[in-house]
């Protein structure tokens, strides 16, 4: 509210988000903080007969995609304390309820005390902090602020970066900065644009990134992830995680096509063995991932030949004495894996385990390069091109949404 009182363009940026007239066509504004009343009247009797052309109740929060368009403003029966009120005479009043934590109750934005005031138009609007700060950030970048205004706005961003970094915009990786939550939100937004779908989920901690499940028409893999990998950005997928996927990869010409694809992109794509044992519906934390030291070409060659007979179900009482020596002899398991076997078998109990000859495949960009691409609006196009190249190399269909949806700008 202090910023909007001192910087008219910041006030106009808020109004532009809400959709009413610009402040140049409205009466002189009055701003109030921690107010008790929507309209300033000394007694309830004086409020009788008053009318207001438009009332907008704004719920400002860290949430993304919150929709309050169907909400109606109703009368509050108890007292109220309004975080901010922006009044333009009897033309427009904007009431602001702000939250710094996500998924907070929205009742305070929908229940207001309006004794005796006739409201002609009213609505409730959800506004993300990142959206508001994005607009204000643009004022700085476009050098539209006077020197004193610029100092105030820069102080606001410095304070927010220090204490409430999760509220700041994440429209590029550069703007997301070092904040893990903002990076996660940006990577999720990028993946939505790449795959042209809303069905993108954040990765589970400690990973930072986003994952999307693929159409069943794609046979060799189940998902793609766009994630932070140390000092890099990685587009990753995991081939042959299930037996039908393993059949589609190793029992067709796709395995050789993958070897050729990796040879053609030795620096961009990184592939490593990802063989593991798991029981039915085992989460990642309860699987036994093996430390195979095979070169990826040897690893693929082994499964395309006689080793594939071992893929699939193994009885719990045959793993230690039969399957395990075979895994070590064929270099799918290393010496360091012995200590993990006991833990896995204890967890497995009398359930059967499945051997899965998976491959982790990642396209790598140094983080600084990814930031630069995103700043130039080119990262979505490049990530999509890499997905396209891989699926084409494996003779897999491209996502149907790509042909139905035009490329969106970042």
* Predicted pLDDT at 409: 40
Q: Do 205 and 316 sit in the same domain of this protein?
A: yes
Say if residue 90's pLDDT is above 80.
Answer: yes
Mean pLDDT of 332-355: 94
Q: Where are the alpha helices (DSSP H) in 142-196?
A: 147-163, 173-176, 180-195
The rounded percent of the chain whose pLDDT value lies above 90 is: 76
Number of structural domains found in the chain: 2
**SS3 state at 371:** helix
Give the whole-angstrom CA distance, residue 399 versus residue 13: 38
Q: What is the pLDDT of residue 401?
A: 83
Instruction: Report the percent of the chain where pLDDT is more than 70.
Output: 95
Secondary structure of residue 368 in the 3-state scheme:
helix
Report CA-CA distances (Å) from 71 to 39, 75, 121, 127, 177.
21, 13, 13, 14, 35
Given 152, 170, 200, which residue is the final one in a domain?
152
- pTM for the model stands at 0.75
Structural domain contains residue 37: yes
Q: Please report the pLDDT score of residue 410 as a whole number.
A: 39
Tell me, yes or no, whether 171 lies in a domain: no
Residue 405: the pLDDT is: 54
Does the residue 184 lie in any domain? Answer: yes
Confidence of residue 229 (pLDDT cuts 50, 70, 90): very high
Q: How far apart are CA 58 and CA 54, in angstroms?
A: 13
259 shares its domain with 319: yes
Kindly state whether residues 145 and 195 are assigned to the same domain.
Answer: no
Tell me, yes or no, whether 85 lies in a domain.
yes
Same domain, 255 and 397: yes
Q: Is 103 exposed, middle or buried (0-12, 13-18, 19+ CB in 10 A)?
A: exposed
Same domain, 324 and 372: yes
Residues listed for the chain: 410
The answer to whether residue 43 scores a pLDDT higher than 70 is no
* Beta-ladder partners of 237: 224, 361
The mean pLDDT value for 165-180 works out to: 88
Residues 6+ apart with CB under 8 A from 176: 170, 182, 183, 185, 186
- Which of 152, 187, 207 delimits the end of a domain? 152
Q: Do 140 and 258 sit in the same domain of this protein? A: no
Which residue range(s) make up the domain with 249? 179-403
Look at residue 49 in the predicted model and tell me its pLDDT.
Answer: 64
């Amino acid at each position: 509210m202090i910023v909007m009182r001192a910087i008219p363009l910041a006030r106009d940026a808020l109004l532009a988000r809400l959709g009413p007239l610009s402040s140049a066509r409205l009466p002189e504004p009055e701003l109030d903080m921690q107010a008790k009343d929507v309209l300033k009247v000394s007694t309830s009797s004086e409020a009788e007969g008053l009318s207001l052309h438009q009332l907008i109740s704004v719920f400002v929060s860290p949430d993304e995609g919150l929709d309050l368009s169907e909400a109606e403003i109703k009368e509050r029966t108890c007292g109220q304390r309004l975080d901010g009120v922006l009044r333009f005479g009897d033309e427009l009043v904007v009431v602001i309820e702000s939250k710094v934590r996500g998924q907070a109750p929205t009742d305070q934005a929908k229940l207001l005390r309006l004794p005796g005031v006739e409201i002609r138009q009213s609505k409730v609007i959800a506004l993300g902090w990142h959206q508001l700060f994005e607009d204000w950030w643009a004022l700085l970048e476009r050098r539209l602020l006077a020197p004193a205004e610029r100092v105030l706005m820069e102080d606001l961003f410095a304070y927010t970066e220090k204490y409430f970094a999760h509220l700041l915009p994440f429209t590029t990786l550069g703007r997301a900065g070092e904040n893990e939550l903002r990076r996660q939100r940006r990577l999720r937004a990028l993946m939505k644009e790449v795959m042209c779908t809303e069905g993108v989920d954040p990765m589970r901690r400690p990973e930072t990134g986003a994952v999307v499940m693929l159409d069943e028409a794609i046979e060799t893999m189940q998902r793609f992830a766009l994630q932070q990998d140390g000092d890099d950005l990685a587009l990753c997928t995991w081939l042959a995680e299930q037996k039908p996927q393993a059949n589609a990869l190793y029992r067709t010409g796709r395995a050789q096509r993958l070897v050729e694809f990796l040879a053609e992109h030795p620096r961009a794509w990184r592939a490593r063995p990802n063989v593991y044992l798991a029981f039915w519906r085992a989460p990642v934390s309860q699987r036994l991932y093996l430390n195979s030291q095979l070169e990826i070409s040897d690893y693929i060659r082994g499964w395309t030949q006689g080793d594939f007979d071992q893929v699939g179900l193994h009885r719990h009482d045959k793993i230690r004495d039969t399957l395990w020596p075979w895994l070590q002899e064929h270099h799918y398991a290393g010496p360091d894996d012995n200590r993990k076997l006991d833990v896995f078998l204890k967890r497995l109990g009398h359930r059967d385990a499945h051997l899965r000859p998976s491959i982790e495949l990642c396209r790598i960009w140094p983080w600084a390069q990814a930031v630069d691409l995103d700043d130039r609006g080119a990262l979505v196009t490049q990530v999509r091109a890499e997905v396209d190249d891989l699926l084409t190399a494996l003779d897999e269909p491209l996502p149907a949404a790509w042909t139905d949806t035009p490329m969106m700008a970042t």
